[in-house]
């Protein structure tokens, strides 16, 4: 009689409706297990999940607190598994019925990211459309960028004065976007130096960037039909020490007195040192960087400054290459579309929270 009474007191309802299925929209290797909470969930300490590969021998593979009814288990794709869920309260454990076999697999499409696929297709289509327009000879409008518009005048001034042009790509590495953009601009500046037979000085902080820049300058001279004008010593490596590099470039400015200084790339604390020294020599200075903290120094000490994305658009602006122009126009229209979506979404959210009629009460 006493044993029967104790068994009734400590009886614990097991979780029910246990269901195991392949985790949707993932790369495989996971199974999700869901169940209905035990009728005695308020007295449950935790839920334990058991897994078997043959439907007989179960091993615990996870646990979760009361009030929660799903868990994910890491599995091997293509292999069948069986699951049980147990409600545990102190020393009492109540097992559910086993699930049917389930196997995980990878899905080709993540339906939760359909919006990203749509965005890629729309923006990609815009870029391709503008590239086709540019290749057909249609003029694509790009707003005037003063710093880039002044490059011809700056190179011409150096040619007339018989002085060199100094091009400093900063202290960035080859993986930095600003450095890549700077190398694109360097190629266009080198072409103009080759056309006008103007001396180019191009000192470098990083040996890899130096190697790439040397080939870019050499190819630029070849493209304008002046391979003989290329001076291998005009592009050289200095040092990978930040302020030693700044001191070396300052020394070049003082000794060579270039008519034009290009400070374009990735800069840090040395930016003002370089810009102030260049300004003291009377050179025209065209600067550009995507480092927001350094832009005020360039704006103050340089004649022209490329701000943010102007640096990235520079190579397309100078070269008018259809592929680059099409990409820029496509990206700009993509931003317009994103802006419109944000405004419309904000208005919808505003009027959902505050119905229109409230504004007329």
- For residue 238, the domain's CATH number is 3.40.50.1220
Of the three residues 95, 114, 129, the one that is the final residue of a domain is 95
Looking at the fold, whether 149 and 35 belong to one and the same domain comes out as no
The arithmetic mean of pLDDT across residues 104-123, rounded, is 87
106 within some domain: no
Mean pLDDT (the chain) is 88
How many folded domains does the chain comprise?
2
Rg, Å, the chain Cα set: 33
What's the rounded Cα separation, in Å, for the pair 28 and 74? Answer: 9
- Specify the range with the lowest mean pLDDT, choosing from 30-34, 96-100, 115-119, 160-164: 115-119
The domain boundary, picked from 62, 95, 128, lies at 95
Q: Is residue 10 over pLDDT 80?
A: no
60 and 187 assigned to the same domain: no
Longest dimension (CA), the chain: 114
Strand partners, 260: 165, 284
One domain for residues 91 and 177: no
Within-domain flag for 68: yes
Show which of 286, 301, 320 is a domain's final residue.
320
- pLDDT tens digits for 124-146? 888 888 888 888 877 777 777 88
CA 155, CA 140: separation in Å to the nearest integer?
26
157, 160, 161, 164: CA torsion to nearest 10? 70
- Segments forming the whole domain that contains residue 86: 2-95
Residues 295 and 224 in one domain: yes
> What pLDDT score does 314 carry?
79
215 falls within a domain: yes
Least confident range of 5-9, 40-44, 100-104, 227-231? 5-9
Strand order in the sheet with 165-170: 235-237, 200-204, 165-170, 260-266, 284-289, 304-307
Are 157 and 293 part of one and the same domain? yes
Q: Are residues 276 and 154 in the same domain?
A: yes
Q: Is the pLDDT of residue 351 over 60?
A: yes
Chain segment 286-339, per-residue pLDDT in tens: 999 988 899 999 999 999 998 878 888 877 777 777 777 888 888 888 889 999
- Percentage of the chain lying above the pLDDT 90 cut: 59
Angle, CA of 103, 104 and 107, to the nearest 5°: 140
pTM for the predicted model, two decimal places: 0.67
Residue 250 and residue 145 in one domain: yes
Quick one: which of 165, 266, 282 has its CA closest to 220?
A: 165
Do 164 and 44 share a structural domain?
no
Does 181 share its domain with 270? yes
pLDDT at 130: 85
Instruction: Select the more confidently predicted residue: 164 or 5.
Output: 164
Q: What is the pLDDT of residue 361?
A: 55
The CATH number assigned to the domain holding 28 equals: 2.60.40.10
Question: So what's the pLDDT on residue 355?
Answer: 65
DSSP state of 111: G
How much is the pLDDT for 6? 41
Question: What span, in angstroms and rounded, lies between the C-alpha atoms of 109 and 250?
Answer: 55
Looking at the structure, tell me whether residues 21 and 157 fall in a common domain: no
Instruction: Indicate if 91 and 147 belong to the same structural domain.
Output: no
Is the CB of residue 219 less than 8 Å from the CB of residue 235? no
**Residue 203 and residue 308 in one domain:** yes
Q: Is residue 100 part of a domain?
A: no
Query: For 55-94, how does the pLDDT look when each residue is reduced to its tens digit (9 = 90+)?
Result: 889 999 999 998 999 999 999 999 999 999 999 998 899 9
Assess whether pLDDT exceeds 70 at residue 53. yes
> Pick from 232, 150, 231: which is nearest to 185 by CA?
150
In a domain, 347, yes or no: no
The average pLDDT across 38-61 equals 93
pLDDT at 2: 41
DSSP code of residue 81: B
């Amino acid at each position: 009689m006493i044993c029967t009474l104790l068994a009734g007191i400590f009886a614990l309802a097991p979780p029910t409706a246990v269901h195991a299925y392949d985790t949707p929209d993932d790369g495989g290797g996971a199974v999700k297990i869901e169940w209905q909470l035990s009728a005695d969930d308020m007295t449950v300490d935790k839920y334990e999940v058991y897994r078997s590969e043959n439907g007989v021998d179960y091993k615990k593979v996870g646990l979760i607190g009361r009030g929660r009814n799903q868990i994910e288990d890491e599995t091997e794709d293509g292999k069948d598994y069986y699951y049980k869920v147990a409600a545990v309260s102190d020393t009492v454990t109540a097992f559910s019925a086993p699930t049917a076999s389930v196997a995980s697999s990878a899905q080709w499409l993540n339906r939760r990211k359909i919006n990203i696929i749509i965005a890629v297709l729309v923006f990609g289509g815009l870029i391709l459309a503008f590239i086709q327009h540019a290749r057909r000879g249609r003029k694509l409008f790009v707003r005037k960028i003063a710093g880039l518009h002044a490059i011809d005048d700056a190179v011409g001034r150096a040619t007339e004065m018989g002085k060199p042009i100094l091009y400093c790509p900063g202290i960035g590495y080859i993986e930095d976007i600003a450095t890549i953009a700077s190398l694109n601009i360097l190629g266009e500046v080198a072409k103009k130096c080759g056309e006008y037979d103007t001396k180019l000085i191009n000192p470098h902080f990083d040996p890899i960037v130096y190697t790439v820049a040397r080939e870019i300058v050499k190819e630029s001279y070849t493209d304008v039909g002046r391979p003989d004008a290329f001076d291998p010593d005009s592009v050289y490596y200095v040092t990978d020490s930040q302020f030693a590099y700044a001191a070396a470039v300052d020394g070049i400015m003082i000794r060579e007195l270039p008519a034009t200084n290009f400070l374009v790339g990735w800069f840090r604390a040395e930016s003002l040192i370089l810009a102030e020294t260049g300004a003291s020599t009377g050179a025209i200075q065209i600067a550009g960087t995507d480092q927001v903290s350094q832009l005020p120094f360039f704006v103050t000490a340089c004649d022209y400054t490329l701000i943010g994305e102007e640096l990235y658009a520079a190579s397309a602006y100078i070269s008018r290459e259809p592929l680059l122009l099409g990409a820029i126009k496509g990206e700009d229209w993509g931003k317009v579309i994103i802006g419109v979506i944000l405004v419309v979404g904000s208005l919808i959210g505003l009027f959902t929270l505050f119905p229109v009629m409230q504004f007329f009460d």
